[in-house]
Amino acid sequence: MTDTPTLDQNLSAAARHVLRDHGTERPGTSPLNYEKRTGTYSCAGCGNAVYSSDTKYDSGSGWPSFYTAIPGATATTVDRSLGMTRTEVHCAQCNGHLGHVFPDGPAPTGLRHCINGVALDFAAE
């Protein structure tokens, strides 16, 4: 696991709220919703590469969405908050909360990784 206290000093309050307190950003607020360039999305908490632009699509949900993560880069847990059961996706390296996975995505996986943009950094190729 990464030394997150040191890294967290560089996080915005919004990113810290999402990554460490399992918060959610408001839909439609992330500039990453409109990012179309080829590149890699990394965890803002530790820099771990978690998603490729090749798997990003416009789900219309208001959050950056991907149909799969980079193999081994994320992990999931059961989230029973808000009176429902969901699948939480988090960074496999620092355990930062990224968002949730839903079974309503496109082929080939049928999954929608609905990710908080504030939890990601983007690097264009």
Is 91 annotated as catalytic? no
Query: Of how many residues is the chain composed?
Result: 125
**Ramachandran sector of residue 95 (left: φ over 0; alpha: ψ -120 to 50; beta: rest):** left
Tokens linked to 21: 């307190």
Identify the active-site residue in 46, 91, 94, 114.
Answer: 114
Query: Closest Cα partner for 42 from 13, 3, 5, 70?
Result: 70
Q: Which residues are catalytic?
A: 114
